[in-house]
Amino acid sequence: MRVRVAKFCERNIKVTPAGEAIDILRRSYQDDVEVRIVDCFRRCLECRVKPFCRIQLTTMEADKPEILVEKILQTVRRETQ
């Protein structure tokens, strides 16, 4: 399986529980997902509300970090089949 890159906004990590999603991915799914922290996605209204990340051009968000991780894994698995 090819490792996919999930990019997280540095500012989003500071104001939402996105860091928890990153911790889960790094701890349990490092063979499937590479986590990268980027400066800013310029999505300020979303950024303050809930955790999100981007895989290629697809942005995914969720109310809880665990749900975001599930969405990321679904996307990764669908793209690598």
Q: Which domains does the chain have, with CATH numbers?
A: 4-79 (3.40.30)
Rg of the chain on CA atoms, in Å: 11
The predicted pLDDT at position 68 comes to 97
The predicted pLDDT at position 80 comes to 66
- At 47, phi and psi to the nearest 5? -55, -35
The predicted pLDDT at position 64 comes to 95
Taking only the tens of pLDDT, the chain with its 81 residues reads 567 899 999 999 999 999 999 999 999 999 999 999 998 877 777 778 899 999 988 999 999 999 999 999 999 888 766
**Tokens matching residue 38:** 């980027």
Distance CA 27, CA 8 (A): 16
Predicted TM-score of the model (pTM):
0.88
